[in-house]
Amino acid sequence: MNARSVLMIIAAALLVGACATQPTPTPTPEPPTPTPAPEGVITIGDISDDPSEVIEETQPLADYVAARLGEFGVGVGEVRVAPDIETMTEWVESGEVDLYFDSPYPALLVSEGAGAEPILRRWKDGVEEYDSVIFALAESDTEALEDLQGHLIAFDEPYSTSGYMLPLAYMVEAGLNAVEKPDTDAETADDEVGYVFSYDDENSIQWVISGLVSAAVVDNGTFAEIPEETREQLTVIAETEPLPRQVVVVSPTLGAEERAAIHDILMGMDETEGGQAVLEAFDETAQFDEFPGGTEAALERMRELYELVQNR
């Protein structure tokens, strides 16, 4: 593990060095201004334990947006990586982070905590929405959600949308009594469904296969990537409604005009060649768009689910 980390660090350092010394084809500020560059900063934030990778992927977008906010005195784009939700909430609330991208559940957590506002949908990995697949071994007796009573299910992590909030809300709506358990050895009462966090979708899949849990949940994209031979030996117990793949949250410290300008910049990115290149570098994002059915309607359903999880 240590050797691998060292390798990764060296690789990242080499890549960062390469990026710093070579001109990046994107983004190119357009059009060049004859006046001195403004010194204002626009900051994009993310939560990760791998900051190098995040900064490498996000910096082009920060530069792209900054280059288009000159009228607001902005000339520099920055990326900041927070270790957890709480920190990010503070940064967004204080304006240290202007833009924050994440899946619906953490985005709602941050926006609720920071008084921020989701404004757009992000097609991360080229996907506009995703859902959660709850599955078990085909050879087991678990065929429906009700069969999970008295058994364990593996969730991803506490801030995961598809691996926690969405399936948990779905189970609560189904009337199941979901109770968190410390580990896979914990006892589960017959009138409850125990859940444990595997902290990784791959762990969740393996735990089902190895019999540590009766079922697990992953997003539909991850489920599709399970080798076909293995997938054929799994059975899908339930599949939830889809949610936006990611949400764009803006800091409440930004003025309405600047927020609108950012809205327009992001919305128009996929229409220019330079914008598409930046999107591609930014986790293969296909585009930014409005929430289907309007922002309020989308936020309302997301908040319902959020509150089901928060208030149970």
Partner 1 sequence: MNTLTRWLPGRWSLAAKLTLAMTTLVIVVIVSVTALFIGREQQNFRAELEGQAAILLDTLRVTTADALYLLDVDALKGFTDNFEELEQNIVARIYDAQGRIVADSTIQRGLPFSVQADPFGTTLIESGSTIFDWQTTMLNAGEAVDVGRQRVGAVSVSLPTTVLTTKVENVRNQGIVVALNAALIGAVLSFAVSRTITNPLRQLSTASARIAEGEFSKPIALRTRDELGDLATAFNTMSERLQVMVEDLKNRNVELQAANDRAMQASRLKSEFLATMSHELRTPLNAIIGFSDMLLLGMSGDMNESQRHKVLRLQENGKRLLGLVNDILDIARIEAGRIELRNEPFLPTQLAERMAQQMVVLAERENLTFTMKIDPLFPPLLVGDVQHIEQVIINLLSNAFKFTEDGSVSLAFGVDATTWTIAVKDTGVGIPPHALDLIFEEFRQVDGTAARAYRGSGLGLAITRHLVRVMGGKIGVESALGEGSTFTVTLPLVLPEAEPQLLEAIKV
207 binds partner 1 per the rule CB under 8 A: yes
- Those residues whose C-beta lies under 8 Å from the C-beta of residue 171, and which sit 6 or more positions away, are 145, 148, 178, 193
Which is nearer to partner 1, 228 or 271 (by Cβ)? 228
Counting Cα atoms < 13 Å in the Cβ hemisphere of 279 gives 23
Q: Report the C-alpha gap between 136 and 89 in whole angstroms.
A: 36
Binds partner 1 by CB under 8 A, chosen from 47, 205, 217, 305: 205
211 binds partner 1 per the rule CB under 8 A: yes
Binds partner 1 by CB under 8 A, chosen from 53, 200, 280, 289: 200
- Closest contact distance (angstroms) between CB of 4 and partner 1 is 5
Task: Pick the stretch among 79-87, 227-235, 272-280, 300-308 that binds partner 1 (CB under 8 A).
Answer: 227-235
| Residues paired with 79 in a beta bridge | 44
226 binds partner 1 per the rule CB under 8 A: yes
4 binds partner 1 per the rule CB under 8 A: yes
Residue by residue, DSSP assigns 18-56 as HHHHS--SS---SSPPSSPPP-EEEEEEEE-S-HHHHHH
- Closest contact distance (angstroms) between CB of 202 and partner 1 is 5
Which is nearer to partner 1, 72 or 199 (by Cβ)? 199
- Closest contact distance (angstroms) between CB of 1 and partner 1 is 5
Which is nearer to partner 1, 191 or 202 (by Cβ)? 202
Rounded to an integer, what is the distance from CA 262 to the centroid of its chain?
20
User: Do the strands 152-155 and 193-197 form a parallel or antiparallel pair, or are they unpaired?
Assistant: parallel
Binds partner 1 by CB under 8 A, chosen from 173, 202, 257, 284: 202
1 binds partner 1 per the rule CB under 8 A: yes
Residue by residue, DSSP assigns 247-263 as EEEE-TTS-HHHHHHHH
Q: Report the C-alpha gap between 101 and 289 in whole angstroms.
A: 13
Task: Pick the stretch among 87-95, 121-129, 172-180, 202-210 that binds partner 1 (CB under 8 A).
Answer: 202-210
Which is nearer to partner 1, 133 or 250 (by Cβ)? 133
227 binds partner 1 per the rule CB under 8 A: yes
295: tokens are 């922002």
Task: Pick the stretch among 40-48, 62-70, 126-134, 198-206 that binds partner 1 (CB under 8 A).
Answer: 198-206
Which is nearer to partner 1, 224 or 297 (by Cβ)? 224
Rounded to an integer, what is the distance from CA 86 to the centroid of its chain?
15
- Closest contact distance (angstroms) between CB of 224 and partner 1 is 12
50 binds partner 1 per the rule CB under 8 A: no
Q: Report the C-alpha gap between 196 and 181 in whole angstroms.
A: 5
137 binds partner 1 per the rule CB under 8 A: yes
- Closest contact distance (angstroms) between CB of 274 and partner 1 is 31
Kindly report the number of other CB atoms within 10 A of residue 15's CB atom: 13
89: tokens are 């909430």
3 binds partner 1 per the rule CB under 8 A: yes
* Sheet-wide strand order for 246-250: 74-82, 40-47, 99-102, 246-250, 117-122, 288-289
The binding site for partner 1 (CB under 8 A) comprises: 1, 3-4, 7, 137, 199-200, 202-203, 205-207, 209-212, 225-227, 230, 233
